[in-house]
A and B are shown apart, each in its own frame.
Chain A
Amino acid sequence: MIALAIGLPTLSGLACLVAPKNIRRILVYVTAAVLVGTSILIYNSGGFVYSPNESFELVVVGLDILLLLYFLYIGYVNRNLPTLALALAQLLPIGYYEYVAFGTHTTPTLLVDGISSIMSLIVSIVGSAVAIYALDYMVEHEEEVGSLGASSVKAASQGSFFFYLIMLLGAMHGVVFSNSLYWLYFFWEVTTLSCYQLIRHDGTEIAVQNGLRALWMGLVGGVALVGSIFIGHFHFDTISMSALIGKNPTPLLYLAFALMAIAAFTKSAQLPFQSWLLGAMVAPTPVSALLHSSTMVNAGVYLILRFVPAIEGSVLTYGIALVGIFTFMFTAIIALNQKYSKAILAYSTIGNLGLMIFCAAMNTPLSYSAAVILLIFHSMSKGLLFLCAGIVENRLHTRYIEEWQGLLGKLPLTSSVMITGIISMILPLFGVLLGKWAAIGAVSSAAFFPALVMITMMVIGSSATTLFWAKWLGNFTVLPLTEREYKFEQLPSGYIFSMFFLLSLDIVASLGVGLIIQNVVCPAIASNYACVWTAGILGISSQLGSFMIIPIWAAIAAVVLLGNYLYKSKGGIIMPAYLSGANVEGSPTSFRTTADTTVEFNVAGMFFDPEINEGRWTPWGVVTGVLMNLLVIALVVL
């Protein structure tokens, strides 16, 4: 079964590389269906271990060496020093390791438990939705890019795009199921490769540059993982994650975990590694939706979730939490200043990942489960938002959100779904806010002084988050005051399917959040953390309070019914805006001014220039991030 989960996407990805368009469609659909089915089966199996034949170990080693050589080659061809250096920094140690430890076979090699099966479900379900979306999207994208002129496009083919996209799903399964640190490292690097290829897909100068940046930052993570493999093998004589987690705490063990944390930070774009994710937004939207919001970046959070039970009660765990919560606050503030749709979504993703890492690293039953809840719901919501953003971008040919003003009138269907997506991120109707609510509860469980800092960052981040989402939401609805017949726009079936699939999944999951927490999340973390949640009819409660989601949905139902009733019964004439009496007949957005000229007014968004300036603040964020990462390493001695 695991072979199916890992192997099938790889094979069908390879097939996509060569297959013509129609067969590719069928391949993707079939792969998606089988993948989802496999994940469900794996989840239902209740967890197991599996160690494939020793010969597979050789296959993995061989592929890994090839991969590293390929990275070296990329660095050489593109004259990119960091890539070269980092690939070398991995190749040499791995070469040494293989020389010394050739043939060691870690058992169990593959491990399936609660957390990994949840991750597998997320990867399969959200990933499949995105892949189906990608089929239609790439058709439109090719037209877009083609219209830019042939010379700028050294684009890779559609086939290779789908190869890397689908293969990524397999690699992600490899990451979450690996118990051997070496296998995990290998699959980790495969995801980095996939990420690099997909970002540079368009072949433009900036795409290549950003792809390389994503590559070398990912390789930093790879080096860190190699470091932890070394510690594991040479000091503790094992590179089995489960074994390492069970060992007695010593500074060296903590160092191994700290290095894993650094790797997680690079993968999840925490400070100071956030710039690769922002640069990755030049990639086609399915890439952003899949890799950079709902799937690949979750690998970092997954790794942290994996080892954090072993460092419970230490100072190290607070250090890691600090990186997460600082990233959350920092990105929330910078997002207030962003004017491009995908930049806002990217910063929000980084922030939420930071929140997840914070929750996981706070290491209490409540916060750990909050991290898992956030993981599940954020993937759905963010994936959905990226999908919608891609559709809008293809139709409006711009990412500048000022030009997205009034989208509710231009693209009613897509913008309604997108508005619901934004609502799912900030309002208590959906699971993401439940995660945030639990996170706020988790903050106070810290020891005294860190708690003050964390409370401050959490509160600032939370308020800034609400603000930048709400102002974008408002911007969608700015419509000149005319009676309009809202005609839903035509969308390809792939779009409709993926959008509404994720949307309905999000709604159903949010309504049933109590059941999900009790029956999915709690059992998954049961081996390390007690379940502090109790599901009730109206919602869910923990020792810190209760989150009654059903009354709020009831309130919304009441609002919709009442509102509709009032509108139908009392009605109302739609009147133009108040413009001090200078309205112009027939033009709701103009007013009369001196010499009887007509001026059209516009309402613009609020971006806090010059108080918040990405260019000026980012260096400080990076410096702080570097310091905090060093702190994480330093804390191992405590």
Chain B
Amino acid sequence: MVNTLLTDYVLPLAFIIVAPLLGGLLVGLDRKITARMQSRMGPPITQPFYDFIKLWGKAPFLSSRFQPMLAVGYFVFIFTAVIMLAFKQDLLLTLFTLTLADVCLIVSAYNSKSPYSNLGGRRELLSMLAYEPLMLLTAISIQVVTGSFLVRDVFTYGKPLLLVIPAAYAVQQLVLIIDMKKSPFDVAGSGHAHQELVRGVYTEFSGYTLALVELGHWTKIAFIMGLISLFWAQNLLIGVGLSLLLWFISIVADNIYPRLNWETMVRTSWTLGFILILANFVVVTILGVI
């Protein structure tokens, strides 16, 4: 009884509350590790939180009266997706909610008639075009294997997903690189200390709206980490390890690769995504695992 209370309510709630902070810490760690890779010292791990508080205190400049609402929308919808993931709800619906969040961001970028912002918004749409098929294919893979889209059924499946659909796990690497806005696929607006189209999709954000978008970005990273952890749902510590592995590889890739263009991003994601996952289906069906 206490056990189910723990797994069904306490832990999910804890994850929900902690998710944005966790994401922020990951961003801070990311900057630290990147710095160390570049033989620098790097900022403290809590740097993103200082950034957030500072941004919140800036005098507010807006690009339009809709911007606060759209920035809030970006964060709230990603947060809703996290809530759904934590309570083991429908994965496909969760992905559609993320689309909702992204559309908020993109509309806000388009809303200010600014060349950099508009191009950034356009590139954000293209990033969505690159990783949305991958996410959909992952959800379909999970559904084919476990029989439903519910995250709950991943936990009761019995076998770690990594052993059945490793291609979906591999493909998450691409998703993570695009969503963390890391080279080679940071065409829409890069992380700190990099510029692309000035700040790309984030150009016209400032002050508290940027703080909200940052918060949303952290929550999104936490979400994807949570998603990747599902690949070893039987032992979540291993699952978290798996997600941290991909996260670390993204940081390495960021330091090695230059920024590539959007055509390469879409082409690579689609080719790798479709071929790997469909091949996985073939292998798994022949081996009779499903």
A binds B: yes
- Which chain A residues have a beta carbon within 8 Å of chain B's beta carbons? 406, 426-429, 433, 437, 440-441, 443-444, 448, 451-452, 455-456, 459-460, 462-464, 466-467, 470-471, 473-475, 477-481, 483, 543-548, 551-552, 555-556, 558-560, 562-564, 566-567, 570-575, 577-579, 588-589, 601, 603, 606
User: Chain A residues near B71 (CB, 8 Å)?
Assistant: 563
User: Chain B residues near A570 (CB, 8 Å)?
Assistant: 60, 68, 208
> How long is the Cα–Cα vector from A531 to B209 in the complex, in angstroms?
46
8 contacts between A and B (CB under 8 A): A462-B136, A546-B150, A552-B100, A562-B76, A563-B73, A574-B65, A577-B115, A578-B117
Q: Residue A426 contacts which of B61, B99, B147, B198 (CB distance < 8 angstroms)?
A: B99
Q: Residue B122 contacts which of A471, A483, A543, A572 (CB distance < 8 angstroms)?
A: A471
> How long is the Cα–Cα vector from A556 to B103 in the complex, in angstroms?
13
Other than A427-B96, A474-B125, give 18 A-B pairs with Cβ distance below 8 A: A427-B103, A440-B139, A440-B140, A455-B278, A470-B103, A470-B106, A474-B109, A543-B147, A545-B150, A547-B90, A548-B89, A552-B80, A555-B80, A567-B65, A573-B62, A574-B64, A578-B204, A601-B115
Report the interface size for chain B: residues with CB under 8 A from the other chain.
Answer: 72
- Contact in complex: A459, B106 (CB < 8 Å): no
B143 close to A (CB within 8 Å) = yes
User: Chain B residues near A451 (CB, 8 Å)?
Assistant: 281
Q: Knowing A463-B129, A603-B118 touch, does A563 contact B68 (C-beta < 8 A)?
A: yes
Q: Knowing A437-B92, A464-B129, A572-B68 touch, does A452 contact B278 (C-beta < 8 A)?
A: yes
- Contact in complex: A566, B208 (CB < 8 Å): yes
Q: Knowing A467-B128, A480-B113 touch, does A545 contact B133 (C-beta < 8 A)?
A: no
- Contact in complex: B64, A441 (CB < 8 Å): no
- Contact in complex: B93, A440 (CB < 8 Å): no
B27 close to A (CB within 8 Å) = no
Q: Which residue of B lies closest to A570 (CB)?
A: B60
User: Chain A residues near B206 (CB, 8 Å)?
Assistant: 575
Q: Knowing A443-B140, A603-B113 touch, does A427 contact B100 (C-beta < 8 A)?
A: yes
Q: Residue B137 contacts which of A428, A459, A555, A560 (CB distance < 8 angstroms)?
A: A459
Q: Residue A562 contacts which of B72, B129, B143, B203 (CB distance < 8 angstroms)?
A: B72
The interface centre, meaning the residue of B97, B109, B118 with most chain A CB atoms within 10 A of its CB, is B118
- Which chain B residues have a beta carbon within 8 Å of chain A's beta carbons? 59-73, 76-77, 80, 83-84, 89-93, 96-97, 99-100, 103, 106-107, 109-119, 121-122, 125, 128-129, 132-133, 136-137, 139-140, 143-144, 147-150, 198, 203-204, 206-209, 274, 278, 281-282, 285
User: Chain B residues near A459 (CB, 8 Å)?
Assistant: 133, 136-137, 140, 274
Q: Knowing A467-B125, A564-B69 touch, does A579 contact B115 (C-beta < 8 A)?
A: yes
> How long is the Cα–Cα vector from A463 to B203 in the complex, in angstroms?
26
Q: Which residue of A lies closest to B206 (CB)?
A: A575
> How long is the Cα–Cα vector from A544 to B92 in the complex, in angstroms?
10
Q: Which residue of B lies closest to A611 (CB)?
A: B263
Q: Which residue of A lies closest to B286 (CB)?
A: A448
Q: Residue A560 contacts which of B69, B90, B148, B208 (CB distance < 8 angstroms)?
A: B69
Shortest distance between the CB of B106 and any CB in chain A (Å): 6
> How long is the Cα–Cα vector from A464 to B133 in the complex, in angstroms?
9
- Contact in complex: B136, A440 (CB < 8 Å): yes
Q: Knowing A481-B63, A559-B69 touch, does A460 contact B133 (C-beta < 8 A)?
A: yes
- Contact in complex: B62, A575 (CB < 8 Å): yes
> How long is the Cα–Cα vector from A358 to B121 in the complex, in angstroms?
33
Q: Knowing A463-B129, A574-B62 touch, does A475 contact B97 (C-beta < 8 A)?
A: no
Q: Knowing A552-B80, A606-B125 touch, does A567 contact B149 (C-beta < 8 A)?
A: no
Q: Knowing A478-B110, A579-B115 touch, does A573 contact B133 (C-beta < 8 A)?
A: no
- Contact in complex: B106, A474 (CB < 8 Å): yes
Shortest distance between the CB of B25 and any CB in chain A (Å): 24
Q: Residue A479 contacts which of B64, B140, B207, B274 (CB distance < 8 angstroms)?
A: B64
- Contact in complex: A555, B76 (CB < 8 Å): yes
